[in-house]
Amino acid sequence: MTTNSKSGFNSSFGAIMAAAGSAVGLGNIWRFPYICGKYGGGAFLLVYVFFVFFIGMVLMMSEFVIGRRTRMTPATAYSALRPQRPQWRWVGILGLLTSFLILAIYLVISGWTLNYFWESVTGTLASVSNTGFEAHFNHFASSPVRPIVFIALFLACTALVVIAGVDKGIERVSKLLMPFLVVLLVLLCIRSVTLEGASAGIAYLFQPDFTKLTGEGILAALGQALFSLSVGMGVMIVYGSYLPVDDNILKSSMWITVCDFFIAVLSGVAIFPAVFACGQTPTEGPGLVYQVLPVVFNSLGGIGHIVSIVFFLLLTLAALTSAISLLEALTAWLNERGMKRVVSALLISLSVVVLAALASLSFGDGKLCDLHLFDFLDKLTGAYLPPICAFLTILFFGWFMKKEDILDELSNHGTLKVGYFKVFYYFLARFVAPLALLTVLVAGIVG
């Protein structure tokens, strides 16, 4: 297969920052710490490490190979690699549909986060009493206009970066934001672990409790590993199509995975010690970030105001680089069909903002029907679609792509050695990852 030239990332470092930007997001900072604590701390972590490095990273490598080999989007890449079986393109299309749905709920939560950042800056949040945060959040999330305004603002920022282009927009912004994000996170960790009583939070996060590691917990670990690494929906195929020709795919996948994993763990270290030190109990999802953490920030005294600003800024920026990747994947698809980048980005943005607004309205009295659209989309994109797409992707890679093509791509056309590490990952892609994904899928459906 020959590769055609098109715009892409200028350097491996830029590519790693962009893909790590996609991976590091709300899933790391908000979702990972909570499920890790819930399903047995250190015990969950063990299973999670296995899924992240032996399944998630395999998928990332596979998507990068498919993307760089074809320089196409998921909608066309599968059938280009396997012209005699054009029906494989449906896997790519399903992935893109999943990205669209994820982007819609992602925008709702990002809109909330941006609003909380704004309220931290203006001091509104600091003026709420410790018992009033639940009502404050519920009032905000269920109001008809304000959340949608923040969704639109957040989306406008996302679209601006995507319209600016792959290297001048995405790569440049990621190279700037990702190191900044790590600095913010480390500052938060230092503040959190130096509080009196912080050790209970560390224990909650790391102490292994195998009795809590249920089947549901194992499923959650796999779902989280896929979501967190942004794999299974073809977004990494699109980023793979922008990789420099001399990029060492397996090495980059490893750096991105390591970075994503440590940022998730650091987020737990930033959140739980502070939560326990302030006498709060960890709760799930929105409750933790928008109801419990503001109480923690208020309890920290003067510095709490700054910590609140830093935390919500961190969350907003992490969400931004992930939303960029989702919008980019969809934009690239229309772009590939001959539409200009700017028109594609605007068209996708307009369509997705409608779905996000409807999902946001499903929290309030203005909801259109009894279906809670947000919860429905959350379930669909969290538990079902990504593992299905991931399984089909890895099946294609391991069993339907030519082995010579894969090894050629992993070795950069023979310029890199095909050592044990590459062979081991190819083995994982062929046998371990599809089997593990299938088992977990079947267990999930049966369960």
Residue type, 421: F
Query: Does position 248 bind ligand PFF by CB under 6 A?
Result: no
- Contact, 223 vs 380, CB < 8 A? no
Q: Find the part of the chain contacting ligand PFF (CB under 6 A) among 20-28, 50-58, 175-183, 391-399.
A: 20-28
Query: Does position 192 bind ligand PFF by CB under 6 A?
Result: no
- Report the residue from 15, 16, 19, 26 that binds ligand PFF according to the rule CB under 6 A: 26
| Cα–Cα distance measured from residue 134 to residue 63, given in angstroms and rounded to the nearest whole number | 41
Alpha carbon separation from 54 to 49, 205, 284, 420 (Å, rounded) = 8, 22, 27, 15
Query: Does position 230 bind ligand PFF by CB under 6 A?
Result: yes
Query: Does position 228 bind ligand PFF by CB under 6 A?
Result: yes
Host H or E run for residue 217: helix 215-228
- Residue the block writes with tokens 């299309």: 93
| Cα–Cα distance measured from residue 183 to residue 179, given in angstroms and rounded to the nearest whole number | 6
| Cα–Cα distance measured from residue 244 to residue 208, given in angstroms and rounded to the nearest whole number | 41
Query: Does position 28 bind ligand PFF by CB under 6 A?
Result: yes
- Contact, 79 vs 268, CB < 8 A? no
Work out how close the CB of 109 gets to ligand PFF at its nearest, in angstroms, rounded to a whole number: 9
Q: Find the part of the chain contacting ligand PFF (CB under 6 A) among 114-122, 226-234, 331-339, 389-397.
A: 226-234
- Pair of tokens at residue 75: 């909608």
Query: Does position 22 bind ligand PFF by CB under 6 A?
Result: yes
* Site pattern 293..322 for ligand PFF (x: CB under 6 A): -----------------------------x
Q: Find the part of the chain contacting ligand PFF (CB under 6 A) among 21-29, 80-88, 132-140, 432-440.
A: 21-29
Q: Find the part of the chain contacting ligand PFF (CB under 6 A) among 222-230, 285-293, 330-338, 351-359.
A: 222-230
Q: Which of 154, 146, 141 is nearest to 318 (CA)?
A: 154
Q: Which of 108, 145, 134, 64 is nearest to 412 (CA)?
A: 64
Q: Which of 162, 109, 96 is nearest to 324 (CA)?
A: 162
* Site pattern 85..124 for ligand PFF (x: CB under 6 A): --------------x--x----------------------
Residues that bind ligand PFF (CB under 6 A): 22-23, 25-28, 99, 102, 227-228, 230, 233, 235, 322, 325-326
